[in-house]
Amino acid sequence: MTMPRAIYPGSFDPITYGHIDIVRRARKLFPKLIIAIVANPNKHSFFSVGEREQITRDALVEMGINNVEVTSYTGLLIDCAHKLGASAVVRGLRANSDFDYEFQMALTNRDLDSDIETVLFMTAGKYSFLSSSIVKEVKRFGGDVSSFVPSSVDQALTRKLAQA
């Protein structure tokens, strides 16, 4: 019997404690979890895809999370799931607005391939407001982001902002 394999897609620009909470919880259900960072040409990202992959790997190591693969993809999520042999897509929900979007995406993905399930995790309450955008904004204006991201992510933000 093969181990259930899931992908956790997103922009991870950068990864936050909210994302890490979902990773930890998803690992309890899926022995094989792959973080799939989307390279969306229609969205301007703060970090390049390669930087996001490295920052994510560094954060996982810092948090003591092993056996989570990090990759990137372009195109349809369902095609990425096929390529990686995933039978499930993991997503996190913070608020009602997230639910509306995720519900629409889950139904679309089910239409594209009914064998791949979407599993939604409610965020931990303390992360319900947290987003990568908020982290970048707080950091950009000199705020302390240590309660939002691991120190390796904080350091990557500092380096990137110094280049700007």
Taking only the tens place, the pLDDT of each residue in 86-114 is 999 999 998 877 899 999 999 999 999 99
In this predicted structure, what is the pLDDT of residue 40? 82
Look up 126 and say whether it is catalytic: no
Give the closest residue to 73 by CA, choosing from 87, 86, 60.
86
| Band of residue 1 on the pLDDT scale cut at 50, 70, 90 | low
Burial letters 103-129, b for 16+ CB under 10 A, else e: eeebeebeeeeeebbbeebebbeebee
**From 24, 94, 110, 160, active-site residue:** 94
Look up 43 and say whether it is catalytic: yes
pLDDT for residue 2 is more than 90? no
Q: How many domains does the chain divide into?
A: 1
Separation of alpha carbons 5 and 42, rounded Å:
28
- % of the chain beyond a pLDDT of 70: 99
* Contact partners, residue 34, CB within 8 Å, separation at least 6: 5, 6, 7, 8, 68, 69, 70, 71, 84, 86
Give the CATH number of the domain where residue 50 resides: 3.40.50.620
* Contact partners, residue 77, CB within 8 Å, separation at least 6: 7, 9, 36, 38, 89, 105, 109
Choice between 40 and 138, residue whose per-residue pLDDT is larger:
138
DSSP state of 134: H
Residue at 62: amino acid letter: E
**From 28, 43, 97, 147, active-site residue:** 43
Q: Kindly report, residue by residue over 4-55, the tens digit of the pLDDT.
A: 899 999 999 999 999 999 999 999 999 999 999 999 877 789 999 999 999 9
* Contact partners, residue 123, CB within 8 Å, separation at least 6: 18, 21, 22, 92, 93, 94, 130
At 4, list the tokens: 């259930």
The residue segments making up the domain with residue 94 are: 5-163
At 16, list the tokens: 């936050």
Separation of alpha carbons 116 and 109, rounded Å:
8
Look up 82 and say whether it is catalytic: no
| Band of residue 164 on the pLDDT scale cut at 50, 70, 90 | confident
Look up 136 and say whether it is catalytic: no
